[in-house]
Amino acid sequence: MTIKPLAMGDTIPDFQTTDETGQDYSSKSLRGSPVIIYFYPRDNTPGCTLQACDLRDNYEHFLKIPITVLGISGCSLDSHQKFKTKNSLPFPLLLDEDHRIAKSFGVWGEKKFMGKSFEGIHRTTFVISKTGNILKTYLKVKPSLHSSMVLEDVRNLRF
């Protein structure tokens, strides 16, 4: 199955979830300010940790724009809490244990690792306007280059 992530101009789908503290988030609550939503496969894996820490290390630059940063994976509440605490992450990690949000954004699908196929989240980032439209989609994100690439682009976007 080929994944088909949302693209520039698409409106984000309706969703509701909570973060690792229990705070509610929805597609409607995100309206009014620009948002970066980054989907990542799993808490505490090398690539996902590198990506999250890279965003953490550049978080102050995102705040100055200002733009909200949100991470989403299919991990549990307990996993998100430990991952956030262990890595001192300053941004919310949203829950998507049933993968409904990942599927609606088109980032859930077949993956291959060490010759095995399985279903999972494809590392993908979306920059979303104040009105809920996708301004930019980043596919096959490289964790170590992620935040600098996104930061450079969002500095030049009109929200």
List the catalytic residues: 48
How far apart are the C-alpha atoms of 45 and 120, rounded to whole Å?
Answer: 14
Which amino acid, one-letter code, is at 109?
A: G
Per the CB < 8 A criterion, the answer to whether 154 and 134 are in contact is: no
Q: Give the up-direction half-sphere exposure of residue 43: CA atoms within 13 A in the CB hemisphere.
A: 24
DSSP state, 11? B
From CA 109, how far away is CA 131, in angstroms rounded?
Answer: 27
